[in-house]
């Protein structure tokens, strides 16, 4: 138990962060290089103003027409992504771990709110799973890896909630939580989760093309 | 509620696709695909293909999807899944039957209208991905016969419709003669060096719609424009090669076109009401030639008419009083932002205007664009069936009183006419130029 | 198929074992780790049986936990018994109570981790009632 804990709290956490950061940098760098070689247009037509115009329209809830057409999906997605980012950084336990390891600290969320946000993430995962099962057009597109990724996202939140509530078996769940969270972090650069990296890139490029060349809106 | 077709999809026989596929071997397919991916498969391809999270939110953008009872295989991401992803996943180990199917999807089930780009949260360019498949089909020699024929015409004659040089000149003379009955001193100036404007049209205008050249000549003369048309190849601004994936030909065509403008020392190119040609001249062809924007300024007819009204060079004698509605063509609206100018011209020339919904950037495609109508009769049925939402949208505008639908684009014309006929709508399709011609004061 | 049937029993057994240890622990004479600087407690206070802990851990020297520092050097043979931890471990501007929490965690869980004995997980110390 202690050996496992020491490993996941120490070296593995370091490895997870390293893999995540280096992996993301590698992905961005290799795409940058490939684009330089094969997609020079991306650089030539890039316009910061129109890129930001598009990105902002797609970061503000209900700012794009398709978001208004799917209000439930939009609401769930925004809550999901917000909580997905906020909870890992601003949960008190995590903030304390950062403080312990690197001696930096920031304000953290009250545990009650963090609990609700965690439940929201899990609920959203169920919602997404439901879409994948019940909506024909989504089911048609869904692959095994899509479901696995959803599971990988939900697991750290599920186990974290369990550990936080100290339900029976919580010590094991705490370790499951730590390990699954670290795995999730390492998966980001190498799975579809990298949409986190490429969202601003694609949106920015298309925004530039739509704004500067095609003089049209893209939301 | 759930509609399941008896067959997975309609079996369509196309000689260009069939004969092309017969010549393929697994080795050749693999070799061509691997070389193609190596040479041209860049960051956009990879990022688009790898970032899509299969959320399905693009579906509602696509008229094919909406019109086919939300059949999933017609959704933009569904088409990428069928036509492109297996090629990437299997690194070229796909069968000739797969290539046939992928060709049909990329050429006839997607109008490259880019509406889905506006619905995808990431802005993934499905049109780019479909064009990537089309270029592969081109490299493999599996292309629908009708559109390949127009590409051949481009290659041989530098115009889309096998119009010979003497026929072209003859057509212009003929239209000049006709128009002189209306405006006695009217000219269609050929080869006038140093003219302000090079007026360019698409191949089908001299071939089938010569009255459009007549009308343009009247508008030019009434507005007192210093204009010319070339007597040599290079007059055609259309570009079906852009849609068959023949990028080398795109570059040749646009080079010829721009060089003709430069040879005539014209200050700009004004083009007739064509959407895909505008895409080619404004956005695509210039890139293949290494120009960020067109080397000679390009003005689409919509922009040109609005200029003429704004500067009072054209005056309206009697407003067009049949209620009109406007179809926003993808290539000049999503691709050129001309929607407000089009409305301005309509406001100037028409007394009653009914707005279609959705409109502007969100308008539904006519179903004909992106070279789909050019793939010819084998696909007409599928195309009009895939345009049911367009028919519903048109019917709604008709119910609000519209009798004429203005479509400032040739392909849209063809597409809308087929839709109107198939669904029995009480609408007539007109060009913006038809309305301008009918409403202006020709005495000057 | 047989292999799979063992799992639920194993799980049940671990749960009982766990509940057993928890019950045993709860019966000890409980003291609570206290520091005046903890005004609003985020987590439940930590039960700490001082004498039993030191006996089990074999700690004789008070200064091992109640350490005393001077000029950044740990003073051997000296201790800080009677002082509250927050008297030293509270202060970096803007960091406030986080400093104190850090000191406690490194002191307790840090040692447990090193010695591979004693609780290290959040819920093992900050037990909900």
Beta carbons of A199 and B121 less than 8 Å apart: yes
Cβ distance A37 to B42 less than 8 Å, yes or no, reads yes
Confidence of residue C72 (pLDDT cuts 50, 70, 90): confident
Query: Shortest CB distance from B283 goes to which of A137, A195, A213?
Result: A213
Selecting from A39, A206, A217 the residue whose C-beta is nearest the C-beta of B42 gives A39
pLDDT of residue C7 exceeding 70: no
Q: Give the closest of A93, A169, A172 to C122, CB-based.
A: A93
Chain B: closest CA distance from residue A157 (Å) = 20
Query: Which CATH number goes with the domain that contains C111?
Result: 3.90.10.10
Compute the C-alpha angle A24/A26/A31, nearest 5°. Answer: 100
pLDDT over 90 at C12, yes or no: no
Within 8 A of A175 by CB-CB distance, chain C residues are: 121
**Phi, psi angles (nearest 5°) of residue B197:** -120, 135
Predicted pLDDT at C94: 60
Identify all chain A residues contacting B293, using CB atoms and an 8 Å cutoff. Answer: 213
> Are B108 and B9 within 8 A, CB to CB?
no
pLDDT, tens digit, for every residue of A117-141? 999 999 999 999 999 999 999 999 9
**Residue A177 touches chain B, beta carbons under 8 Å:** no
Cβ within 8 Å of C, A 90-119: 92-93, 95-96, 99-100, 103, 105, 108, 110-111
Does residue C113 fall inside a structural domain? yes
Which residues in chain A touch residue C15, judged by CB atoms under 8 angstroms apart? 168-169
Report the gap between the CA of A75 and the closest CA in chain B (Å): 14
CA-nearest of A217, A219, A213, A218 to A47 is A213
Nearest chain C residue to A93 by CA: give it. Answer: C122
Q: Is the pLDDT of residue C91 over 80?
A: no
Enumerate residues 6+ apart whose C-beta is below 8 A from B294. B258, B269, B281, B282, B286
CA distance B397 to chain A (A): 21
Residue B176 to residue B172: CA distance in whole angstroms: 6
- C-alpha B372 chain-centroid distance: 9
Burial track B317-353 (b if 16+ CB lie within 10 A, e otherwise): eeebeebbbbbbbbbbbbbbbbbebbbbbbebbbebb
Are B42 and A140 a contacting pair at CB < 8 A?
no
What is the share, in percent, of chain B residues with pLDDT greater than 70? 98
Q: At what angle do helices B210-222 and B165-180 cross, to 10 degrees?
A: 50
Chain A, nearest residue to C22 by Cα: A168
Q: Would you state the pLDDT for residue C36?
A: 79
Contact list in C for residue A3 (CB cut-off 8 A) is: 116
Question: Looking at the domain assignment, is residue C24 inside a domain?
Answer: no
Q: Taking the mean position of all CA atoms in its chain, how far away is CA B97?
A: 28
Shortest alpha-carbon distance between residue C123 and chain A (Å)? 6
Ranges A184-193, B152-161, B293-302, C79-88: which has the least confidence: C79-88
Q: What angle do CA B186, B200, A208 make, to 5 degrees?
A: 140
Check if B128 contacts A (Cβ < 8 Å): no
Write the CB contacts of B316 (distance below 8 Å, at least 6 apart in sequence). Answer: B309, B348, B349, B439, B440, B441
Give B3's pLDDT tier (boundaries 50, 70, 90): very low
Average pLDDT value for chain A:
96
B43/A216 touch (CB, cutoff 8 Å), yes or no? no
C44 to chain A nearest CA, in Å?
Answer: 12
- A165 interface with C at CB cutoff 8 Å: yes
Residue C98 covered by a domain:
yes
CA distance B150 to B240: 7
Please indicate, yes or no, if residue C40 is contained in any of the structural domains.
yes
Whole-number percent of chain C with pLDDT over 70: 72
pLDDT(A160) > 90 = yes
> Model confidence at C34, in pLDDT bands (50, 70, 90)?
confident
Counting the structural domains of chain C, the total is 1
Does residue C74 register a pLDDT over 90? no
C109 falls within a domain: yes
Question: Which of A216, A218, A219 best tests the B interface by mutation, with the highest count of B CBs <10 A?
Answer: A216
C128 contacts in A (CB within 8 Å)? 165-166
Whether B195 and B189 have beta carbons less than 8 Å apart is answered as: yes
Alpha carbon distance B349, B339 (integer Å)? 16
Is pLDDT at C24 greater than 70 in this prediction?
no
B312 inside 8 A of chain A by CB: no
Q: What share of chain B is helix, strand, coil (3-state, %, to 5)?
A: 55, 5, 40
Contacts of A147 in chain B (CB under 8 A): none
CB contact under 8 A, A195 and B53: yes
Which among B295, B273, B274, B297 has a CA at the least distance from the CA of B198? B297
State the average pLDDT over residues B47-71.
96
Distance CA B294, CA B284 (A): 9
Contacts of B326 by beta carbon, 8 Å cutoff, 6+ apart: B342, B343, B346, B353, B355, B356, B359, B405, B406
Q: Is A213 in Cβ contact with B123 (below 8 Å)?
A: no
Cα distances (Å, whole numbers) of residue C5 to A155, B258, C1, C2, C11: 24, 78, 7, 5, 11
Distance from CA of C46 to the nearest CA of A (A): 14
Is some CB atom of chain A closer than 8 A to the CB atom of B38?
no
- The more confidently predicted of residues A13 and C15 is A13
Residue A189 pLDDT class (50, 70, 90 cuts): very high
Q: Distance between CA atoms of B12 and B15, rounded to whole angstroms?
A: 10
Q: Residue A193's pLDDT band (boundaries 50, 70, 90)?
A: very high
**Per the domain annotation, does C8 fall within a domain?**
no
Mean pLDDT of A50-72: 97
Alpha-carbon gap, residue B242 to B244, rounded angstroms: 6
Interface C:A, ≥3 CB–CB pairs < 8 Å: yes
Residues 43-102 of A with CB under 8 A from B: 44-45, 54, 58, 64-66, 69-70, 73, 77
Question: String of b and e for A35-54 (b: at least 16 CB within 10 Å)?
Answer: beebbebbeebbbeebbbbb
Q: Do C121 and A163 touch (CB under 8 A)?
A: yes
When scoring B1, B36, B51 by the number of chain A Cβ atoms within 10 A, the one with the most, hence best to mutate, is B51
Cα distance from A85 to chain C (closest Cα, Å)? Answer: 21
* pLDDT for the residue numbered C39: 76
Residues B268/B297, Cβ–Cβ less than 8 Å: yes
Q: What is the mean pLDDT of residues B130-151?
A: 98
Above 60 in pLDDT, residue C19? Answer: no
Neighbour subunits, A (≥3 Cβ pairs < 8 A): B, C
Domains of chain A: 2-213 (1.20.950)
CA proximity to B409, closest of B239, B272, B285, B294? B272
Partner residue facing A202 (CB), from B51, B57, B65? B51
Looking at beta carbons, which residues of chain A come within 8 Å of C124?
A: 171
According to the model, what pLDDT value does residue C5 have?
56
- Segments forming the whole domain that contains residue C96: 30-125
Phi, psi of C70 (to 5 degrees): -140, 130
pLDDT tens-place string over residues C42-62: 888 899 999 999 999 999 899
Per-residue pLDDT band for B5 (boundaries 50, 70, 90) equals very low
d(CA A131, CA A72): 11
- Tell whether C107 is covered by a domain: yes
Non-local CB neighbours of B11 within 8 Å, separated by 6+ positions: none
On the question of pLDDT at B385 being above 60, the answer is yes
Distances (CA, A) of B317 to A68, B321, C25: 44, 12, 98
pLDDT tens, position by position, B108-133: 999 999 999 999 999 999 999 999 99
Asked if A214 lies within 8 A of B292 by C-beta distance, the reply is no
The whole-angstrom distance between A123's CA and the closest CA on chain B is 17
Q: How far is B286 from chain A (nearest CA, A)?
A: 12
Q: How many CB atoms lie within 10 A of CB C98?
A: 23
Nearest 5°: CA angle at A205, between A200 and A206? 105
Give the residue-averaged pLDDT of B134-152: 97
* pLDDT value at residue C9: 54
Q: Is B283 on the interface with A (CB under 8 A)?
A: yes
Q: Provide the pLDDT for residue C2.
A: 43
Query: Domains in chain B, ordered, with CATH?
Result: 15-143 (no CATH), 154-310 (no CATH), 324-439 (3.40.50)
The answer as to whether C9 is a domain residue is no
């Amino acid at each position: 138990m202690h050996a496992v804990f020491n490993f996941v709290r120490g070296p593995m956490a370091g490895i997870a962060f390293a893999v995540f950061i280096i992996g993301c940098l590698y992905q961005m760098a290799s795409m940058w290089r490939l684009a330089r070689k094969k997609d020079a247009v991306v650089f030539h037509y890039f316009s910061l103003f129109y890129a930001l115009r598009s990105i902002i329209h797609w970061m503000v809830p209900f700012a794009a027409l398709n978001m208004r057409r799917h209000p439930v999906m939009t609401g769930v997605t925004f809550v999901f992504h917000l909580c997905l980012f906020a909870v890992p950084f601003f949960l008190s336990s995590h903030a304390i771990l950062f403080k312990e390891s690197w001696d930096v600290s920031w304000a953290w969320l009250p545990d009650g709110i963090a609990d609700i946000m965690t439940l929201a993430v899990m609920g959203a995962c169920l919602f997404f799973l439901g879409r994948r099962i019940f909506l024909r057009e989504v089911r048609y597109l869904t692959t095994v890896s899509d479901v696995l990724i959803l599971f990988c996202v939900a697991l750290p939140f599920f186990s974290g909630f369990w550990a936080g509530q100290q339900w029976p078996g919580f010590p094991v769940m705490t370790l499951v939580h730590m390990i699954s969270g670290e795995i999730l972090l390492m998966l980001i650069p190498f799975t579809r989760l990298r949409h986190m990296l490429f969202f601003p890139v694609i949106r920015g490029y298309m925004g530039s093309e739509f704004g500067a060349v095609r003089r049209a809106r893209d939301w | 509620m759930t509609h399941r077709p008896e067959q997975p999809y309609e079996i369509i026989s196309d000689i260009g696709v069939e004969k092309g596929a017969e010549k393929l071997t697994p080795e050749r397919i693999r070799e061509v695909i691997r070389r193609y991916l190596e040479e041209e498969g860049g960051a956009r391809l990879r990022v688009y293909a790898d970032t899509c999270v299969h959320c399905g939110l693009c579906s509602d953008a696509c008229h094919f999807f909406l019109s086919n009872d939300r059949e999933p295989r017609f959704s933009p991401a569904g088409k990428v899944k069928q036509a492109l992803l297996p090629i990437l996943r299997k690194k070229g180990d796909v069968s000739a039957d797969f290539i046939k199917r992928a060709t049909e999807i990329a050429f006839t089930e997607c109008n490259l209208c880019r509406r889905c780009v506006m619905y995808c949260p990431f802005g993934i360019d499905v049109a780019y991905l479909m064009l990537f498949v089309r270029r592969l089909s081109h490299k493999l020699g599996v292309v629908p016969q009708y559109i390949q024929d127009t590409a051949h015409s481009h290659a041989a004659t530098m115009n889309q419709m096998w119009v010979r040089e003497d026929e072209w000149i003859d057509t212009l003379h003929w239209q000049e003669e006709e128009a002189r009955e209306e405006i006695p001193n009217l000219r269609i100036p050929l080869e006038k060096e140093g003219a302000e404007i090079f007026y360019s049209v698409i191949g089908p205008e001299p071939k089938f719609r010569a009255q459009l050249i007549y009308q343009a000549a009247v508008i030019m003369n009434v507005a007192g424009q210093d204009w010319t048309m070339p007597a040599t190849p290079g007059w055609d601004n259309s570009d079906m090669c852009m849609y068959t994936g023949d990028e080398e030909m795109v570059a040749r065509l646009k080079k010829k076109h721009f060089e003709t403008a430069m040879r005539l020392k014209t200050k700009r190119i004004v083009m007739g009401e064509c959407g895909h040609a505008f895409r080619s001249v404004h956005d695509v062809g210039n890139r293949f030639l290494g120009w960020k924007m067109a080397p000679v300024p390009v003005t689409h007819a919509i922009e040109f008419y609005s200029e003429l009204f704004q500067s009072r060079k054209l005056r309206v004698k009697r407003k067009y009083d049949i209620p009109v509605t406007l179809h926003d063509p993808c290539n000049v609206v999503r691709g050129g932002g001309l929607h407000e100018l089009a409305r301005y011209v309509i406001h100037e020339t028409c007394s009653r205007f009914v707005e279609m919904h959705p409109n502007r950037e969100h308008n539904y495609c006519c179903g004909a664009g992106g070279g789909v109508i050019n793939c010819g009769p084998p696909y007409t049925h599928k195309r009009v069936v895939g345009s049911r939402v367009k028919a519903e949208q048109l019917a709604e505008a008709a119910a609000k009183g519209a009798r004429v639908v203005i479509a400032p684009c040739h392909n849209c014309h063809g597409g809308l006419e087929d839709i109107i006929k198939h669904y029995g709508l009480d609408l007539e399709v007109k060009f913006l130029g038809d309305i301008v011609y009918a409403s202006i004061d020709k005495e000057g | 198929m047989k292999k799979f049937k063992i799992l639920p029993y194993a799980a049940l057994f671990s749960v009982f074992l766990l509940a057993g240890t928890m019950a045993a622990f709860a019966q000890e004479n409980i003291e609570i780790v206290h520091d005046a600087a903890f005004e609003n407690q985020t987590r439940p206070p930590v039960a700490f049986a001082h004498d039993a802990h030191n006996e089990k851990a074999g700690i004789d020297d008070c200064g091992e936990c109640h350490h005393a520092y001077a000029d950044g050097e740990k003073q051997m043979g000296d201790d800080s018994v009677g002082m509250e931890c927050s008297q030293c471990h509270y202060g970096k501007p803007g960091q406030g109570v986080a400093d104190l929490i850090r000191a406690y965690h490194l002191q307790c869980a840090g040692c447990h981790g090193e010695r591979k004995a004693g609780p290290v997980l959040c819920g093992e110390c900050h037990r909900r009632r």
